[in-house]
Structure 1
């Protein structure tokens, strides 16, 4: 009887497993979570950034005027009394932002720290980015003339490239990975434009294309939207999706798994490291409880809205008349359940053998 109970339990577990089928080429299902909406004190949203823990930072305006940054973490919403460019968040939960072109600030656990401000040598400040060790990179125009790209590490600010040499100007956005490699766009004294990296004093050309909104991951892969509205990815064919997408909007988001999310029209898409393309969300898709997305509420102008788990943060107009900040998470494939069960079964086998032996 004991043998029958043990075998029947294993057999029942197998029956309860979802059917495993080959990966479909159709749209992969995503589940959506509404993080915040404008049915309360928030009036409208700005672009969000999301880290691997699913913590989200975004800007928003409030009813009656005013607004600031908000951090959404596990159902709680924390407001930061500051406004400026869309924030960037690292995996430690620190956010960085340009506060109305007056200063670049970081915020961690209630503490705001000044990285740079216009009271010093800077006459204007670009959009900052931050890596997981808290190193911040930013572009600036100097009081003495010219431009530079600076890195702030442990409170020490260092210029890594400037317009006193081969460069004439820089784009407003630069990005930095965990090894300290910085990617930026610039125009040379010759008039040529391109994508460049800087590491340990060495500047390298990644592409001689006119590009904007660049990002770099920890493997050193670079993604950007190039001038004709198509996608550039270093180490692969540019215009990878030019046959299907000729109107990329805003900035592509690149994670450390080499997945890239991007906006085309009013829809969001994602590609994995093999170039397999999936639709994330489009007008008419159900978001929650029969409520559908009418359209995206803005452009994703800055990287950071895709995390290493493949989650995407976006804001949209919904069919109930509201505007909402939403996180999209990919539904696991059935094969992942099979792997989970197989691992559990291997873990339980020694116990099953002991029980069988003791029942003899």
Structure 2
């Protein structure tokens, strides 16, 4: 591989159905549930443009699986357990490539240490070690991988020499995006990175002067998207969600708190930093976290409500923009809780989430928009 250098029309999908499961704008499909097969619990899923999801499944026999597929069509990507190479998978969601052909994940190893791996689909799927914590490695920890195009994976690495950084690798070479140990570095600590299909890396970071911000690496240059020197106070320390647009400017979504109190989710132009408010806590939302963003700038996020409960929403109106929330009737029961990853919405407006129901079932579900 050459030395690492990181340097279309809107789609729509809606289903014509006479009776969606509930509400008037989504139909809900079960990908996996604990009442069947040998599943005990699930991690939050990530979603591709083709409607496939990747997620961790905890098995009743104490082993773990990474699974990929859609309702009725699941395949095993990797297995973890005492007799396997992997002892377990990270609790964070795996990173699924835009078109579902690559999955990046973190696993602890039965031989000791942990590693970031890239699984690539094909007639014979391949598994590539991107970074690890073995004796010969520079890392004491590796976590939070994000897969881009051509087998590149961004990850957060803790260094044996002290400090940490954001790195991109392909299993052969590694590029340092930012760290807190290089001479002149202003960074103190980092969130998990987000890597899109145009080789842009974004991350949240705390600076040595106490300020924080959202930063991007694009065209071999590091720049600021937004920071806490203005009306936005501390940024939530989860990774911003990047889009991969077919045309036009790249954008990202993130959450932040205001100097005057309250919080909001924002969409930002990666190149210019121009901010567009999506939703905030001045209305019906009490708190907003974990924004996800598709190529056309449509978000999905997790929010708690002033009236109580929580749910997944796509805009400022908790009624018109609701995907699902606690207390809703869903698939023969009632929603107790929901969880969301930051790769949860695709360009068709589908949203993937994990849900716990009042009858004890846990599910991986895809919500698909329904024609009005």
TM-score for the superposition, normalised by structure 1? 0.77
Q: How is 1:60-209 mapped onto 2 (pairs within 5 angstroms)?
A: 60-73=57-70, 75-79=72-76, 80-82=78-80, 83-84=89-90, 85-90=92-97, 91-100=99-108, 102-109=114-121, 110-119=125-134, 120-153=137-170, 155-163=172-180, 164=182, 165-209=184-228
1:95/1:245 CA distance change after superposition, 3 Å: farther
Indicate how the Cα distance of structure 1 residues 87 and 184 shifts in structure 2: closer, same or farther if over 3 A, else same.
same
Helix, strand or coil at the partner of 2:51: coil
Name the counterpart of 1:254: 293
The gaps in structure 1 that reach 5 residues or longer are 1-17, 19-26, 334-360
Partner of 1:51: 48
Which aligned pairs between 1:314-353 and structure 2 lie closer than 5 A?
314-333=353-372
SS at match of 2:210: coil
Q: 1:127 & 1:174 partners in 2: Cα distance?
A: 7
Alignment of 1:1-16 (within 5 A): none
State the alpha-carbon separation in 1 of the partners of residues 138 and 320 from structure 2: 46
Higher strand share: 2
Distance 1:191 1:50 in 2: 35
RMSD, matched Cα: 2.6
How far apart in 1 are the matches of 2:51 and 2:158? 34
Greater Cα radius of gyration, structure 1 or 2: 1
| 2:300 partner SS | strand
- 1:211-261 Cα distance to aligned partner (Å, 9 max, x none): 222111123212112245421221334473332254335411111010000
Which structure's residues are more often helix, by fraction?
1
Which of residues 231, 245, 264 is equivalent to 2:265? 231
- C-alpha displacement at 1:317, in angstroms? 2.1
Deviations 1:116-145 (A, max 9, x none): 111211111130101243321112121122
Over residues 320-360 of structure 1, what are the superposed CA-to-partner deviations in whole Å (9 max), with x where a residue is unaligned? 43111111001023xxxxxxxxxxxxxxxxxxxxxxxxxxx
Q: What is the CA–CA distance in structure 1 between the aligned matches of 2:170 and 2:193, rounded to whole Å?
A: 15
- What are the ranges of 5 or more consecutive residues in structure 2 without an aligned counterpart? 1-15, 17-22, 81-88, 229-233, 269-273, 305-309
**1: distance between equivalents of 2:210 and 2:142?**
23
Q: Which residue of 2 aligns with 1:3?
A: none
Instruction: Name the SS for the 1:207 alignment partner.
Output: strand
Give the aligned partner of residue 337 of structure 2.
Answer: 296
- 1:268-279 to structure 2, matched below 5 A, reads 268-271=312-315, 278-279=321-322
Q: Residue 344 of structure 2 aligns to a residue in which SS? A: coil
For residue 216 of structure 1, what is the aligned residue in structure 2? 242
Q: Measured at CA, do residues 311 and 253 of structure 1 come closer, stay the same or move farther in structure 2, by a change above 3 Å?
A: same
C-alpha distance 245-97 of structure 1, shift in aligned 2 (>3 A): farther
| Total equivalences in the alignment | 303
Aligned to 2:6: none
CA deviation string 1:283-340 (max 9, x = no partner): 343433xx1332224x33x41111111111111122443111111001023xxxxxxx
Q: Which residue does the alignment assign to 1:267?
A: 311
Partner of 1:271: helix, strand, or coil? coil
Q: Contact between 2:130 and 2:169, CA under 8 Å: does it hold in 1? A: yes
* Counterpart contact for 1:106–1:114, Cα < 8 Å: yes
TM-score (norm. length: structure 2): 0.75
Q: CA deviation at 1:158?
A: 1.0
